[in-house]
């Protein structure tokens, strides 16, 4: 029997006992369906994290802050009473939050630490409000993109640091309140940002909106406006009016650049050296590592349940093929008497098992894709509406093909025992079987 005839015969034999085959396929379907959904869940969430991770920073950079004093009265430490006022702390943009201010000397100290290639100081800016065509003044935070950061845009472009003109990207939640019809209407318009200096004089600085930023799980400034260098410098100069150079040069934190080829051990050693110098370094992996670990752990547990379901289904395959071998004893004897070798008989029944696995996995994967797409669409307009760009359940063609192959492999292995029994059958005894 040729290979093509062998495959065709295996497919047709699968449907000899339709009820038994359908029940076995359903058992495999449940495992494949669950495995495809959980795999899609992991793919969707991790893809979203990958798409937004650049909003935190580059993989060869870390955020560095000055370490606070280790005492019970230090701001930010656990205490039953209020924290003492510390003139060396600056607001970090969070409600009631602050960090120890960094000075120019601190930046120089960081630059001298072994393994540091470059340092970018991040200045603290505290604007009063932002105003546009509506005439209403709204409180807003501001931040600048660290090199290699990106922002998820609804429309427009990122602020251009090479431009001498003040540019800003506003959060999508500010579009309508500021008086714009939609995101596209905001781009190209002018907004006014007010900032008060040390002499209590308010300065008004105009800037052009070049983009509108989506809300994201991880974003450079959260709900802040993103500035280019020209606008950041203008606000900083205005805010610093009346201050001495020492008072003005107070930084929120710094971005430290290190070797892109650095290993985890190298990064840990650099972090330890920074700590010895009085600074705390946090990499992108530190900020998102816990999130991805928890997600991967959940997906792994769900996948384990799917594998258990598939293993249970494999016993159904064994039972189905054993019954088939029992029912076709005379047929097996006839095939062997006509010259079909044991290897061909084994292949015939193994192919039947693999085909049953293919049916169950293909149906399970296809329905999982439909169900996952429908669930993602429904959640994106309800529970996950505040996380634009997130496809909760996404499907990767390679993962889908891998799932089908894995299920077929499990089915093939499950079919080897009854296939081996059929291959060992004695043709004379089989032809006498009643």
SS3 sequence of the chain: CCHHHHHHHHHHHHCCCHHHHHHHHHHHHHHHHHHHHHHHHHHHHHHHHHHHHHHCCCCCEEEEEECCCCCCCCCCCCCCCCCCCCCCEEECCCCCCEEECECHHHHHHHHCCCCCCEEEEEECCCCCEEECCCCCCECCCEEECCCCCCCCEEEECCCCCCCCCCEEEEEHHHCCCCCCCCHHHHCCCEEEEEEECCCCCEEEEEEEEEEEECCCCCCCCCCCEEECHHHHHHHHHHHCCCCCHHHHCCEEEEEEECCCCCCHHHHHHHHHHHHHCCEEEEEHHHHHHHHHHHHHHHHHHHHHHHHHHHHHHHHHHHHHHHHHHHHCHHHHHHHHHCCCCHHHHHHHHHHHHHHHHHHHHHHHHHHHHHHHHHHHHHHHCCCCCCCCCCCCCCCCHHHHHHHHHHHHHHHHHHHHHHHHHHHHCCHHHHHHCC
Residue 298 and residue 162 in one domain: no
Residue 423 and residue 328 in one domain: yes
Burial of 414 (C-beta count, 10 Å sphere; 0-12/13-18/19+): buried
Q: What gap in Å lies between CA 46 and CA 1, rounded to an integer?
A: 48
Residue 82 and residue 223 in one domain: yes
Final residue of a structural domain among 230, 256, 284: 284
Residue 47 and residue 146 in one domain: no
Nearest to 185 by CA among 151, 159, 154, 224: 154
Q: Tokens in use for 156?
A: 């427009």
Given this model, what pLDDT does residue 50 score?
A: 66
271 close to 258: Cβ distance less than 8 angstroms: no
Q: How many other CB atoms are found less than 10 A from the CB of residue 42?
A: 21
- Name the phi and psi angles at 284, rounded to 5: -60, -40
Residue 114 and residue 182 in one domain: yes
How close are the terminal C-alpha atoms of the chain, in Å? 26
Residue 134 and residue 159 in one domain: yes
Q: What gap in Å lies between CA 423 and CA 419, rounded to an integer?
A: 6
Residue 137 and residue 242 in one domain: yes
Domain count, the chain: 2
Question: β-strands 279-283, 61-66: how paired?
Answer: antiparallel
Taken as a whole, the chain contains a residue count of 434
Per-residue pLDDT of the chain (434 residues; tens, 9 = 90+): 577 777 787 777 777 777 878 888 888 888 888 888 888 888 887 777 666 655 555 678 888 888 765 443 444 444 444 555 455 555 544 444 456 778 888 999 999 999 999 898 888 888 999 999 889 999 988 887 765 566 778 899 989 988 999 999 999 889 999 999 999 999 999 999 999 998 899 999 999 999 998 765 444 445 688 899 899 999 999 999 988 877 777 887 888 889 988 888 999 999 999 999 989 888 876 766 666 677 777 777 777 877 777 777 777 777 776 777 666 667 777 777 777 778 877 888 788 888 888 998 899 999 999 998 999 888 877 777 766 667 788 888 888 998 899 888 888 888 787 778 777 766 666 555 55
Residue 29 and residue 82 in one domain: no
Given this model, what pLDDT does residue 122 score?
A: 83
Final residue of a structural domain among 258, 284, 310: 284
Given this model, what pLDDT does residue 300 score?
A: 79
Residue 265 and residue 377 in one domain: no
Residue 203 and residue 328 in one domain: no
- Name the phi and psi angles at 136, rounded to 5: -90, 135
Residue 104 and residue 216 in one domain: yes
Instruction: State the residue range of the domain holding 261.
Output: 58-284
Given this model, what pLDDT does residue 166 score?
A: 95
Burial of 208 (C-beta count, 10 Å sphere; 0-12/13-18/19+): middle
Residue 304 and residue 359 in one domain: yes
Given this model, what pLDDT does residue 123 score?
A: 82
Final residue of a structural domain among 261, 284, 307: 284
Given this model, what pLDDT does residue 298 score?
A: 76
């Amino acid at each position: 029997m040729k290979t093509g005839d062998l495959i065709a015969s295996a497919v047709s034999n699968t449907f000899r006992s339709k009820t038994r085959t359908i029940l076995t396929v359903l058992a495999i379907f449940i495992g494949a369906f669950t495995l495809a959904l959980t795999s899609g869940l992991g793919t969707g969430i991790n893809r979203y994290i990958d798409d937004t991770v650049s909003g935190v920073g580059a993989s060869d950079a870390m955020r560095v802050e000055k370490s606070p004093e280790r005492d019970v009265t230090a701001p930010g430490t656990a205490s039953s009473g209020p924290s003492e006022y510390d003139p060396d702390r600056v607001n970090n943009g969070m409600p009631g939050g602050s960090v120890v201010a960094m000075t120019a000397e601190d930046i120089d100290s960081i630059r001298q630490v072994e393994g540091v290639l470059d340092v970018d100081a991040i200045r603290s800016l505290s604007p009063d409000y932002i105003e546009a065509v509506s005439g209403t003044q709204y409180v807003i935070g501001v931040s600048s993109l660290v090199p290699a950061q990106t922002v998820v845009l609804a429309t427009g472009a990122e602020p251009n640091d090479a431009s001498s003109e003040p540019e800003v990207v506003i959060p999508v939640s500010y579009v309508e309140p500021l008086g714009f019809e939609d995101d596209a209407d905001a781009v190209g318009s002018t907004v006014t940002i007010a900032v008060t200096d040390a002499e209590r004089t308010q300065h008004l600085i105009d800037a052009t909106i070049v983009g509108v930023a989506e809300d994201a799980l991880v974003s450079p400034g959260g709900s802040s406006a993103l500035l280019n260098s020209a606008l950041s410098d203008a606000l900083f100069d205005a805010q610093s009016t009346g201050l001495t150079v020492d008072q003005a040069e107070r930084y929120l934190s710094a971005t430290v650049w290190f070797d892109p080829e650095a290993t985890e051990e190298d990064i840990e050693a650099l972090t330890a050296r920074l700590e010895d110098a009085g600074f705390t370094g946090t990499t992108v992996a530190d900020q998102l590592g816990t999130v991805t670990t928890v997600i991967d752990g959940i997906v792994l547990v769900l996948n384990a349940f799917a594998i258990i379901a598939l293993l249970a289904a494999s016993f159904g395959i064994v039972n189905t093929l054993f019954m088939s071998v029992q029912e076709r004893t005379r047929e097996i004897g006839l095939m062997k008497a006509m010259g079909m070798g044991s290897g061909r008989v084994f292949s015939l029944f193994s192919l039947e098992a693999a085909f049953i696995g293919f049916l169950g996995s293909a149906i399970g994967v296809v329905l999982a894709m439909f169900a996952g797409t429908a669930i993602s669409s429904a959640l994106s307009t309800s529970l996950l509406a505040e996380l634009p760009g997130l496809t909760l359940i996404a499907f990767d063609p390679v993962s889908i093909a891998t799932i089908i192959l894995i299920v077929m492999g499990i089915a093939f292995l499950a079919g080897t025992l009854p296939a081996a029994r059929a291959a060992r059958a004695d043709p004379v005894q089989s032809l006498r079987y009643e």
